[in-house]
Structure 1
Amino acid sequence: MSIVSVLESRVEETRKAGRYRNYISLERAVAERPWVLEHKHEGTRKINVWCSNDYLALSQHPAVIDATVDAVQTVGLGTGGARSISGTSIYHTRLEERIAAIHRKEGALLFTTGFTANDATLSTICDTVPDIVAFSDSLNHASMIYGIRYSKAEKKIFRHNDVAHLEELLKAYPRERPKLIAFESLYSMDGDFAPLQEIVALAKKYNALTYLDEIHSAGVYGAYGTGYAEELGLLDEIDIIQGGFGKAFGAAGGYITGPKVVIDAVRSFAPAFVFSTSSPAPVVAAALASFEYNIAHPDLRAQLLDRVSELKQGFKELGIPLVSDESHILPILVGDPYRCKEISRRLIDEFGIYVQPVNAPTVPEGTERLRVTPTAAHTSADVQTFLAAVRSVWADLALEVAK
């Protein structure tokens, strides 16, 4: 069997299982957010997006746009090299210093993506520290999984948010053996928070380093919008924090912040960092502007959480089943890939509302869902329109409601 035929067979299997991913071509408009134009062969149509990670709608904010344009006109686009070879712009330096200061850490390091930040950092630590054991939550993001999996480290997977299971695994190793606990603050497919206090306590008890992915919490929670650890007053208790600018901050890129020795090790030994061309200076300038704007405007975060509260209440009144209602991410539980796609199709075709279906293998089979993410750009009227559309589709398809 040829390589091409094998690939064709695998893709066809994905289609038959209802897992094939369809991409929608969108034209975003600054003046129309959160509305966009969907481009199809037969023309365009206006739709309201309810599955964006641009939680604060900062990607289209004038402060961010102006900073981007100013940087392009001042320094141009690309940096011309990797960070070590002419690729460290003034914006990279300023943003890293600001991230470290706000998180009360010794240093910070920027990456082109959040995925790279996790992958490079975890693989570097796990490859560099002899005899280290990595403990990873079972629902960690693929970037964390791959970073640990392809290192030389021994690894243990603990059941999602199960601190009893984590302790059971930790206590099997001598206290002096190097250990790292990798977990997220907010799991984006379930919308639930990690038990940060309990994990931090276990890390202290068993002498483990903590690595926290804040990418879906960063920008939304905390007095300065750094994330859930700040919200809980635990910034000083977490050793390494990872975040990014492609979600709430509306820009692009990832970062880590933590002890200076960790930052130095990653910038020295991580191939994905050392051999990558650095992020374009205007993109970093945009991230810096967004970061600063968010710190100065907690009202924007409050506006988002107001819309989230309205939506939660509406789902509760309608009996729409949710995987979790803990955070600003509200996944509607459907439980069938074909039905999930059908609900998504009807919402966009009949009501101009876009919510992407999330099927296996992104989530386990039988837990297929619609991942709903309101933004600060949505209005109370938008929320009511969305709820009415969901109610209509739910009734027409005779779907079960929560008791």
Structure 2
Amino acid sequence: MEALTRQSLKLCPFVKNHARAVKDINGSKLVTQATRCPIMGPAIEQKRTYVSSTSTTKAQAVAHAEIEDQIEFIDHQSNEHSFDYQGLFENDVSKKRADNSYRFFNNINRLAREFPKAHRALEDDKVTVWCSNDYLAMGRNQQVLDVMAATLKKYGAGAGGTRNIAGHNRHAINLESEVAALHKKEAALVFSSCYVANDAVLSLLGQKLKDLVIFSDELNHASMIVGIKHSQAKKEIFKHNDLKDLEERLSKYPKSVPKLIAFESVYSMSGSVADISAICDLAEKYGAMTFLDEVHAVGLYGPHGAGVAEHVDFEAHRLAGIKSPNFKTTMDRVDIITATLGKSFGTVGGYVAANRNIVDWLRSYAPGFIFTTSLPPAVMAGAAEAIRYQRSYINDRQLQQRHTNYVKNNLIDIGVPVMPNPSHIVPLIIGDAAKAKAASDLLMDKHRIYVQAINFPTVARGEERLRITPTPGHFNDLSDILIDAVQDVYKTLDLPRIKDLEAIGGLCNVGDPNYIAEPNLWTEQQLNYTQKDLNENVFNPVIEQLEVSSGVRI
């Protein structure tokens, strides 16, 4: 407590006048004493009752919060008191509430037979979901449900443990074979989630490749950031989608130094898209491997749903079907592809697709794979069916794009600041955490529309937004309801419009006079293809089983 008292004496007149009394207080009673403070007392009471305080009180509360960050709650060098564990937890959560980044989870129960409807706590309290990552509504696809139900009935609920202990099964082998065929790679490995896959792969690469340098896009997902941290490798963080900055960083190292460029195809909070071919060019020039996260792209891009890497060579893959084109494609050039089964494929899990040596190495050494219980048989069977379905059914991808374009264009027409991008993400810029939460609440409570507010740390402070994701099931009648509701919310809460952002020079590329918009990834020609335009070999193909799934025999 001496450290607390010494610093408080310098900063707080109340403590200065009550120094002896404060010295006699243990940590658990400090809040009680603080309520007697003319500044902290009202602030604590305001937090308890959630009554709006005056601006002066708010300013004083903020000042004390900053002081709280500068001092130790307990003098940990003293042996007189145990560590105040609960105080730490409560203090950290209080900080989240104070900066409006505290997360409230809505009770949303998606209804398979009424997609995109969901009910809240009560089953007759229904809302329309506009922010799900089940981008293609595969979570309610009848073919997927039938396969999962039959597998569940025959093989039971769980996998029985890790593959290392319980063995694996035909469903794991089939799923990994389908994943490898989708990305036209030699092999694949399924994980419990793509978060786990990214962490496992990146951390293992750093631990095994001496002197590895990882070049990471500044907007990479948290799973990649954590994996890079766990790798203990040297890292270079390059500006988002900035090839010049990436090359400058790569050029600092001899070609002989092992390097890995880690990036995403579609960045989920902004909808921006990486130039995969150009990054592969740099990787080849400077002797680097490439690690591509296609989580928010699989199912949605390419003639067969393999992601943006496939979409780059759309015509070649469309004509070749399940076979590989007669040249080295962009998808071939990417060394490691990770993605999810939990978004466009409607189930759960993650995976890695790469050449046989990489996958066998990961299977043999990655703790995140070896020591994690396998996905249930029904989940793996459902995921494999979803991949097969989307490989041969282009219409869902096209509908999703058309509905996205309709929503984007109509919102922009009424002055709503939609963050420009060439993908399926529709981010509405608000720029304030409290207002973003208020906008989400108003959409829910008044308009029966669920759109989650996106705040720090998912996005930077001052760039808070609503994130809308249309699906093939969000036809124009539902979109018109959404557009009217958003118009009402922006008017009611006096949220910034495009003209307001133009007046300040722009925010998140909205209203920025120097920003050059990119064309949509899907061209009009691609949006007009039908099933008849796909190669016949994509319909019910026989996929060769992967030896590496069980282990390679010598």
The TM-score with structure 2 as length reference comes to: 0.71
**Alignment counterpart, residue 273 of structure 1, candidates 341, 359, 369:** 369
| Aligned partner (choices 18, 30, 49) of residue 112 of structure 2 | 30
Deviation readout 1:351-372 (Å, 9 max, x if unpaired): 0001000011111000000011
122, 137, 145: which one aligns with 1:65: 145
Q: Which amino acid aligns with 2:493?
A: L
- 2: CA distance between counterparts of 1:6 and 1:398? 37
Letter in 2 for 1:179: K
Q: Deviations over 1:344-390 (max 9, x none)?
A: 11111110001000011111000000011111121110101000100
Unaligned runs of 5+ in 2: 1-73, 75-83, 314-329, 500-554
Distance 2:281 2:382 in 1: 37
Equivalent pair of 1:87/1:278 in contact (CA under 8 Å): no
Gaps of 5+ in 1: none
Structure 1 residues 87 and 278: CA distance shift in structure 2, 3 A: farther
2:453 matches 1:357: yes
Residue 340 of structure 1 corresponds to 436
Q: SS of 1:332's equivalent?
A: strand
8 Å Cα contact 1:251-1:283 kept in structure 2? yes
Partner residue of 1:319?
415
Deviation at 1:277, TM superposition (A): 0.9
Shift in Å, 1:325: 3.1
- Distance in 2, matches of 1:325 and 1:205, equals 28
Aligned-partner residue type, residue 268 of structure 1:
S
- Residue 7 of structure 1: how far off its partner (Å): 0.7
Task: Considering fraction of residues, name the structure with more strand.
Answer: 1
Aligned residue number for residue 154 of structure 2? 74
Higher mean C-alpha deviation, range 22-31 or range 142-151: 22-31
Structure 1 counterpart of 2:461, one-letter code: E
Correspondence 1:4-403 to 2 at 5 A: 4-39=86-121, 44-233=124-313, 234-403=330-499
Contact 1:312/1:325 (8 A) holds in 2 = no
SS at match of 1:181: strand
Contact in 1 for aligned 2:158/2:376 (Cα 8 Å): yes
Deviations 1:71-105, CA, capped at 9 Å, x for gaps: 01121121212122234110110111121122121
CA distance in structure 1 between the partners assigned to 2:277 and 2:113 by the alignment: 42
* Shift, 1:188, TM fit: 0.4
Q: Distance in 2 between matches of 1:105 and 1:117?
A: 17
Give the distance between the partners of 1:355 and 1:102, measured in 2 at CA.
32
> What is the CA–CA distance in structure 2 between the aligned matches of 1:260 and 1:128, rounded to whole Å?
18
Greater C-alpha Rg: 2
The one-letter code matched in structure 1 to 2:376 is: P
CA contact (8 A) 2:408 2:418 kept: no
**Residue 353 of structure 2: SS of its match in structure 1?**
strand
Contact 1:161–1:195 under 8 Å retained in 2: yes
Question: For residues 279 and 411 of structure 2, what CA distance do their matches in structure 1 show?
Answer: 31
Checking the alignment, whether the CA contact within 8 Å between 2:430 and 2:496 is kept in structure 1 is no
Percent sequence identity over aligned pairs = 41
Distance 1:87 1:79, change over 3 A: farther
State the shift of 1:44 in Å: 4.9
Distance in 1, matches of 2:381 and 2:167, equals 14
- Partner SS state of residue 187, structure 1: coil
Structure 1 residue 46, shift from structure 2 partner: 0.7
Does the 8 Å contact 1:242/1:256 carry over to 2?
A: yes
Deviation readout 1:165-203 (Å, 9 max, x if unpaired): 110110000001110000000000111101212211111
SS of the equivalent of 2:87 reads helix
Deviating above 6 A after TM superposition, structure 1's stretches of 4 or more consecutive aligned residues are none
CA contact (8 A) 1:308 1:374 kept: yes
The separation in 2 between residues aligned to 1:248 and 1:322, in whole angstroms, is 23
- SS of aligned partner of 2:497: coil
Instruction: Kindly state the Cα deviation for residue 125 of structure 1 after the two structures are TM-superposed.
Output: 1.2
| Whole-Å separation in 2 of the counterparts to 1:138 and 1:320 | 27
Which secondary structure does the structure 1 equivalent of 2:347 belong to?
Answer: coil
Question: Cα RMSD between the aligned structures?
Answer: 1.1
CA distance in 1, matches of 2:357, 2:208: 12
Matching residue's letter, 1:75: Y
Return the letter of the residue paired with 2:157: L
Matched residue, 2:12: none
Which stretch shifts more, 158-167 or 316-325? 316-325
| 3-state DSSP of counterpart to 2:91 | helix
3-state SS of paired residue (2:163): coil
